[in-house]
């Protein structure tokens, strides 16, 4: 082996109990590989196996999913890691194998190819504050899902006990008051009431947990210094989700790429002289949900969002089209608020002439309210990315 070993990319296909790796040089030559357990012994054997390439970058598929556990173990050992989106590795696999055959070895190979060829892949960094936020916001989401299930069960039972059932938005106190009016005489009716009362008690406990979780999240989000909580329609959970998912805003060249990532940028579906755009079903669905809730809240009160929505309706758009336009505007507003500013001191970022990280324009096109801005159909163009972790390029 030459003494002057160039930097390599180690592509990894992670699983819960095993990982498959492939070591690739800058000219896409495969020099090694292997399969290792994720146990303490297997992890140590993997690190020992790659000691021959001290200048290395780990390219791991799904660092926010199945690859999260191994990525953070490597981070603890000071390793450089970039996250490879599953869609990119899937496309590389099709071209690499010819037929898209999927095995652990071909997956590791496709991940290594993406890591070698692509610049600007998101580096995985260790941030204790973001880790805490992610744990708590995921817990808050599970509490909300549990609340929804309990309410659905309660509605079904109340429909069988009371003519017409109960109203859609039902609190535990209102359900308890309704049940107090029911006087079942048969065994089935008495059992229904008992089960319903147990569900009401569960809802009361869930409500207390939700209130405590929201309070904790609000304090932690406020401690980050972000201004997201000042946006109408974004609560502690939504702000925390944005901070966790977005991370460093500099990885988005402009607001259009950010909108494409949030799933709010329309997809061109024009044909011939017929020009039309349709709703995107891609992007980060969790952030899209945050923006949808934000838009729904703004529509309930006389806000600028409500006025913008009404103007779009008056211009001939349907309710769904007007909602899509509003979500696109709110995506611009969130981008302008720069949720990644809070990690600016921890990551190397790129600042454009206008002072916005990752924005190369002279000024922000979209104002502080959704009624200002350019066309409601901007689409992202080719990205000029700025990688935070230097990667080798193919010769």
Q: DSSP characters for 15-61?
A: -SSEEEEEEE-TT--EEEEEEEESSHHHHHHHHHHTTT-SSEEEEEE
Domain-located, residue 333: yes
Which CATH number does the domain housing residue 93 bear?
3.30.420.40
Check whether residue 216 and residue 266 sit in a common domain. no
Q: Is residue 45 part of a domain?
A: yes
Contacts of 301 (CB under 8 A, 6+ apart): 232
Please indicate, yes or no, if residue 95 is contained in any of the structural domains. yes
- Looking at the fold, whether 294 and 317 belong to one and the same domain comes out as yes
- Scan for tokens 């989401």, then name that residue: 141
**Domain around 171:** 128-223
Res 321: pLDDT: 87
Looking at 82, 117, 152, the residue that finishes a domain is 117
374 and 266 within one domain: yes
**In sequence order, which ranges of the chain are alpha helices (DSSP H)?**
40-49, 68-76, 86-97, 104-117, 128-161, 172-180, 187-223, 236-246, 255-262, 285-299, 304-314, 319-337
Look at residue 1 in the predicted model and tell me its pLDDT. 42
Which pLDDT belongs to residue 378? 55
Q: Which residues are CB-contacts of 286 (< 8 A; sequence separation ≥ 6)? A: 241, 245
Please report, in tens digits, the pLDDT of each residue of the chain (395 residues total): 444 457 899 999 999 999 999 999 988 899 999 999 999 999 999 999 999 999 999 999 988 888 989 998 999 898 999 999 888 888 888 776 556 567 888 899 999 999 998 877 888 877 788 888 889 999 999 999 999 999 999 999 999 988 888 888 889 999 999 999 888 889 999 999 999 999 999 999 999 999 999 999 999 988 888 888 888 999 889 999 998 888 777 778 889 889 988 999 887 777 877 877 777 777 888 999 999 999 999 999 999 999 999 999 999 989 988 998 999 999 999 998 765 554 443 433 333 222 333 333 333 333 334 444 434 455 554 444 333 334 333 33
Domain assignment present for 88: yes
**Both tokens assigned to 111:** 């991940």
Residues 141 and 96 in one domain: no
Q: Is residue 2 part of a domain?
A: no
Q: Structure pTM?
A: 0.70
Q: Is residue 302 part of a domain?
A: yes
Is residue 8 within 8 Å of 31, Cβ to Cβ? yes
Q: What does the pLDDT read at residue 339?
A: 54
C-alpha dihedral sign at 141, 144, 146, 152 = negative
Same domain membership, residue 105 and residue 21 = yes
Examine the fold and report which residue of 183, 206, 223 is the final residue of a domain before the chain moves on: 223
Is residue 395 included in any domain, yes or no?
no
| The domain boundary residue, chosen from 156, 189, 223 | 223
Residues 143 and 162 in one domain: yes
Does 361 lie in the same domain as 272?
yes
Same domain (yes/no): 265, 309: yes
As a whole number of angstroms, the distance between CA 337 and CA 367 comes to 10
Assess whether 232 and 376 both reside in one domain: yes
Q: How many domains does the chain have?
A: 3
Residue 134 inside a domain? The answer is: yes
Six token digits for residue 161: 């006990």
Report CA torsion sign: 292, 217, 205, 138: positive
Q: How far apart are CA 62 and CA 60, in angstroms?
A: 6
DSSP state of 169: S
Closest CA to 167 of 183, 184, 151, 149: 151
- Kindly state whether residues 328 and 214 are assigned to the same domain: no
Q: How far apart are CA 230 and CA 395, in angstroms?
A: 49
> What integer pLDDT is reported at residue 99 of this predicted model?
60
Per-residue pLDDT at 344: 41
Cα separation, 69 vs 284, whole angstroms: 21
């Amino acid at each position: 082996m030459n003494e002057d070993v160039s930097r390599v990319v180690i592509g990894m296909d992670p699983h819960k109990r095993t990982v498959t790796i492939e070591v690739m040089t800058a000219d896409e030559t495969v020099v090694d590989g292997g399969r290792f357990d994720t146990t303490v012994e297997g992890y140590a054997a993997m690190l020992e196996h790659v000691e021959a390439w001290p200048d290395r970058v780990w390219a791991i598929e799904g660092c926010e999913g199945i690859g999260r556990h191994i990525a953070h173990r490597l981070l603890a050992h000071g390793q450089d890691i970039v996250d490879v989106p599953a869609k990119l590795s899937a496309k590389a696999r099709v071209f690499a194998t010819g037929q898209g055959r999927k095995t652990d070895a071909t997956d590791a190979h496709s991940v290594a190819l993406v890591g070698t060829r692509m610049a600007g892949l998101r580096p995985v960094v260790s941030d204790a504050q973001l880790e805490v936020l992610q744990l708590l916001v995921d817990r808050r989401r599970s509490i909300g899902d549990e609340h929804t299930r309990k309410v659905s069960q309660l509605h079904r039972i109340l429909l069988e006990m009371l003519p017409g059932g109960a109203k859609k938005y039902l609190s535990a106190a209102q359900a308890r008051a309704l049940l107090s009016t029911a006087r079942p005489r048969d065994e089935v009716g008495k059992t229904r009431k008992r089960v319903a009362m147990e569900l009401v008690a569960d809802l009361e406990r869930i409500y207390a947990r939700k209130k405590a979780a929201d309070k904790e999240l609000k304090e932690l989000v406020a401690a980050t210094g972000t201004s997201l909580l000042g946006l109408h329609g974004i609560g502690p959970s939504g702000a925390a989700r944005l901070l966790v998912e977005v991370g460093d805003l500099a990885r988005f060249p402009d607001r259009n790429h950010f909108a494409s990532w949030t799933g709010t940028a329309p997809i061109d579906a024009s044909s011939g002289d017929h020009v039309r755009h349709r709703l995107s079903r891609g992007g980060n669905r969790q952030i899209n949900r945050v923006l949808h809730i934000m838009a729904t809240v703004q529509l309930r009160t006389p806000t600028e969002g409500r006025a913008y929505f009404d103007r779009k309706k008056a211009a001939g758009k349907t309710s769904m089209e007007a909602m899509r336009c509003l979500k696109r505007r709110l995506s611009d507003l969130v981008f302008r608020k720069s949720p990644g500013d809070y990690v600016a001191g921890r990551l190397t970022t790129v600042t454009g002439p206008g002072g916005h990280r990752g924005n190369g324009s002279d000024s922000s096109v979209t104002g502080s309210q959704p009624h200002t801005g350019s066309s409601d159909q901007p689409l992202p163009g080719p990205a000029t990315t700025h990688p935070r972790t230097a990667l080798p390029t193919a010769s």
